[in-house]
Structure 1
Amino acid sequence: MSYNYLPLDRKWLHFEQVKHLLDFDQLVSITFDAHERILACRAYLDRKMEDKEGLFYGINTGFGFLQNVKIDASQIEQLQYNLLVSHACGMGEEVPADIVKLMLMLKIKSLSYGHSGVQIETVKRLMEMYNHNVLPVIYTQGSLGASGDLAPLSHLSLPLIGLGEVYHNGKKVPAAVVMEQLNWKPIQLQSKEGLALINGTQFMSAYGLYCLKKAEHLLQMADLISALSFDAFDCVTQPLDPHIHAVRAHNGQVTTAAALRNYLQGSEIAAGRKSQVQDPYSFRCIPQVHGASKDAFEHVLGVFIREINSVTDNPNIFPEEDLIVSGGNFHGQPLAIALDYLSIAMSEIANISERRTYQLISGQRGLPPFLVKDPGLHSGFMIPQYTAAGIVSENKQLCTPASVDSISSSNNQEDHVSMGANAATKCLRVINNVEKVLAIELLTAAQALEFRRPATSSEQIEQLVSAFREAVSFNTEDRVLHHDMMTAISFLNKYFPNSKV
């Protein structure tokens, strides 16, 4: 199989594979094993449907509160069609393209286990949509995070039956138009297929993976940027001593202290004599704060990797055991709690970052107030800190847990829901805000370091500053800093430190 394909089947899917899928623009394909399992499951279900007396939830019955309403065999296809169109009730902003791609991939992955009863033609069409970059228009609002992500996944599935809108070649068009161009015929959904498509946690899972991918890079950059701030504020390196961290051996704390020691190695500024005994907590406690967020990241990552290697539609079909079992694998509670946890953990990265920015502009340690040569005439870096403070405050509001809420639905049949979809969308907002705050710290710390000249920092930090200066020049007098801040965000996203610890 081509390296440029991500193979999807019941084998464990790893985080690195998910990242490569997006970073290297890979295509997707089910394996022969998945192909055969899907065929076998569908054949088993077709045999079961020959039993005119059997009742199977969502296969020949209504949905939710209407579970006891039997559907005539002649109406099964209409039932599945109706399910998709009636549940496509999304509102709000459009889901970003990379998250839509992850949703498609994860839905294919879930169906590849052969426990969902779909036709092979349905799975092949989902692969064609991914590989031809036909991305359904999906909306951020509409899922309660239980019964699966019903509304978002309905919008994901509408193009299968020739409905909805898609993005193709950069343009938003009706799905029917693209299908005609590609000579695709609408899928004639069979029993269970609609339910298999719209039950599942792929909206929450895709958001979570995307957030984790961004968070991983931001956590690494937070260490490097904080090391820059550490030298710019002329801090004491004693709190990074490995002996301190060995006696409180949280893994994130230990690795963060090691990372900062690595980034500061060879720094003339760090090795210099200090006038103070200790530094503010936002510098002294970087290992403890960043480390706690890293430990949370690892926990959340474990939850999501297990989830994407699961089957989350309902009911589940086990041909070898002659079982069709209705349960609740679509309930998003594990993801909702984990997403809230990740939001809190990442918010703290911004929280402590803004405090370092505040210290750097405060006129201490030989630095001029607001990091400008003529304060008073020039406001310098006064207002970027205001912006960071406002963003940090917004994050505190966004970090109110979504998972503690529940609203009954479907006439009280679905009487507890996870609200994991809300946790997912606001988690991305939090992480995007963290990105902004770190960019402001980078902008501020690079400015502050110039006032330490001719003393130099370490090789790695000087490389960072040198690269940053190619994008943003030293600020000698007031100018529109919005442009510098936006450039700093772009720089942060593209910069990768030379070494990892």
Structure 2
Amino acid sequence: MKKLLVISILLAIAPLSFAATHNLDGRTLTVDELWAISAPGEKVAVTPEGWARIKASYKAPIDAATDGRDIYGLTVNYGALKDQKVAGASVEAEPNRSASIKFNERQMRIQAAGLEPYFDDRISKMAMVIRLNQMAAGYTGMSEAAANAFQEYINNDVCPLIPSRGSEGANDLSMATHIGLALMGEWDVSYQGKRVPAAQVRKQLKLQPYHPFGMDGISILSNSNVAEAQSIAAVKKAEHYLALSPVVIASSLEALNGNVSPFLWHTVETKGWPQGHEAAEAVLANLKGSYLWKKDAKRYLQDPLSFRSAGYILAAAMEELNQTKSLLNTAINHTTDNPIVNTEAKNDRWYSNAEVLDEMRAGKPTVYVNSCSNFDNTQLALQMESLTKALGQVMHISAWRTTQLVDDHRTGLRHTSLLKKTRAATDLPTSF
């Protein structure tokens, strides 16, 4: 009885032992690690190098403003209102500091609009982790207080409710802004499986009040972190689907009494396309011990195209998946901010000594604060579209194989009248 009790206790606490703390340095975060972090209980810690970049990044726009420069989102307003002053040159001194906080908080309240349904907790948590990692990359200009606020929510699984509909334009401003509003304690969060006011959770966890200051405001609301989190969730689903595809292909070959020849190494080698061998070997691995490796005089010399080309179509989707993950790996370690901060810029370009660059520098020759269009995600959108098209081809060819398996003349299997009627209704050519 005692042994059973001990085993029961160990089983009860076992899931807790799998939780881990992941280091964020702004350089090495991957899609796979980010997905793991998004699970409940997973925590993050910024590395010493990451904290050093956060501090240097925060200081750059403050120094630039002190030098008399207008800094978008710091000393002047956004968009069409960019000619309006927000704070004076000495941003950290009063009354400028209070003016900056008031401006940032007002922008959160203005931008936070959207419609249900809300994104699930994993997308919300990933969006926050991405932002914190990009702070550690040194590109955002955000404060240490902001980094701590994000880290507290991440490590306590406090997930701001983010509407999935209602954003307009080239960025997802209204989505990301709900994170900022929740950090301020003025919105709702998902906590321990319930919708709870952020202020209540902050009080329960004894978190210090957070007031966005300086570049915090524009850097919280003007980024593509939510869209990147959405993309990663979609990629992980695609990855799961493609991992199952070799099993489906192998099963359909067995049902057909098909040929393994299109998947053999020496066959695939003559094509030479990316992921060809990986896809083919994954299919063959599911045919170990299969009767298909034995001679059969009744087996057709050549299978329908939907069987012969299954490996190449799967390979195409696998390659698009790899390309998408690679691009996302780059995105989450860089930034979609405007303006950007770079404290480790190259100073050996042919144009490095041009007068105009002096206007962009913030003190040191390698520190820059300047405008850009980093929120443009055309390349990622096109890559996601390519992955979607490739997945469509995988599903399309799978449907064609299904119609062939309805033909008991090919398989020797008995089918219901409903399946036969379905096959007749499609009127598909048998060669596919």
TM-score by length of 2: 0.80
Q: Which secondary structure does the structure 2 equivalent of 1:29 belong to? A: strand
Correspondent of 2:216 among 193, 210, 226: 193
Aligned pair count? 377
Secondary structure of the structure 2 residue equivalent to 1:317:
strand
Q: Tell me which of 23, 47, 53 is aligned to 1:31.
A: 47
Match of 1:341 in 2: 386
Q: Structure 1's 22 and 184: CA in aligned 2 closer, same or farther, altered over 3 A?
A: closer
Name the structure 1 match of 2:143. Answer: 119
Alignment correspondent of 2:413: 367
Match in the other structure for 1:62: 77
8 Å contact from structure 1 (residues 235, 270) kept in 2:
no
Equivalent position to 2:307, from 283, 287, 292: 283
Is residue 4 of structure 1 aligned with residue 27 of structure 2? no
State which drifts further: 24-33 or 164-173.
24-33
Partner of 1:208: 231
**Do the aligned partners of 2:139 and 2:334 also contact (CA within 8 Å) in 1?**
no
- The amino acid of 2:76's aligned partner reads T
Residue 37 of structure 2 is matched in structure 1 by 21
Residue 103 of structure 1 contacts residue 203 of structure 1 at CA under 8 Å; is this kept in 2? yes
Cα pair 2:64 2:369 within 8 Å, conserved: no
1:331 aligns with 2:347: no
| Residue identity in the other structure for 1:26 | E
Contact 2:26 2:135 in 1 (8 A): no
- Cα distance in structure 1, aligned partners of 2:422 and 2:46: 52
Shift in Å, 1:11: 2.7
Q: 1:61 to 1:381 in 2, by over 3 A?
A: farther
Report how far residue 24 of structure 1 moved: 8.3
Q: Is the contact made by 1:300 and 1:342 (CA closer than 8 Å) also made in structure 2?
A: yes
Q: 1:200: Cα distance to partner?
A: 1.9
1:186 Cα deviation (Å)?
3.1
Q: Provide TM-score, normalisation by structure 1.
A: 0.70
Letter of the 1:168 counterpart: Y
* Runs of 5+ unmatched residues, structure 1: 390-501
1:8 Cα offset (Å): 0.7
Change beyond 3 A, Cα 1:367–1:23: farther
Q: Secondary structure at the match of 1:70?
A: coil
1:8-47 Cα deviation digits (max 9, x unpaired) = 1133223442343246852111112222222233234334
Cα separation, 2, equivalents of 1:11 and 1:329: 18
Fraction of identical pairs, as percent? 25
Looking at structure 1, the residues matched to 177 and 311 of structure 2 have their Cα atoms a distance apart, in angstroms, of 44
Range that drifts further, 273-282 or 82-91: 273-282
Deviation (angstroms), 1:115: 2.8
SS at match of 1:125: helix
Measured in 1, the distance between the counterparts of 2:250 and 2:381 equals 33
1:65-464 maps to which residues of 2 (within 5 A)? 65-73=80-88, 74=96, 75-144=99-168, 146=170, 148-273=171-296, 274-319=298-343, 320=364, 321-364=366-409, 365-370=411-416, 375=417, 379=418
Q: Is the 8 A contact 1:8 1:109 kept in 2?
A: yes
Once residues 145 and 281 of structure 1 are traced to their aligned partners in structure 2, the CA distance between those partners, rounded to angstroms, is 44
Q: Would the aligned equivalents of 2:61 and 2:71 in 1 still touch at CA under 8 Å? A: no
Distance 1:345 1:57 in 2: 41
How far apart are residue 360 of structure 1 and its match? 2.3
Query: In structure 1, what is the Cα distance between the partners aligned to 2:119 and 2:19?
Result: 28
Q: CA deviation at 1:281?
A: 1.8
Displaced runs of 4 or more, over 6 A: 380-384
61-70 or 219-228, which moves further after superposition? 61-70
Structure 2 distance, partners of 1:145, 1:9, is 31
Q: Conserved in 2, the CA contact under 8 Å of 1:200 and 1:313?
A: yes
Task: Flag structure 2 segments of 5+ consecutive residues without an equivalent.
Answer: 1-17, 89-95, 344-363, 427-432
CA offset at residue 124 of structure 1? 0.8
C-alpha separation between the residues in 2 aligned to 1:151 and 1:381?
Answer: 51
The higher radius of gyration belongs to 2
Structure 2 CA distance for partners of 1:312 and 1:381, relative to 1, 3 Å: farther
* Shift of residue 310, structure 1, vs aligned partner: 0.6
SS of residue in 2 equivalent to 1:166? strand
Distance 1:303 1:39, change over 3 A: same
Change (3 A) 1:12 1:144: farther
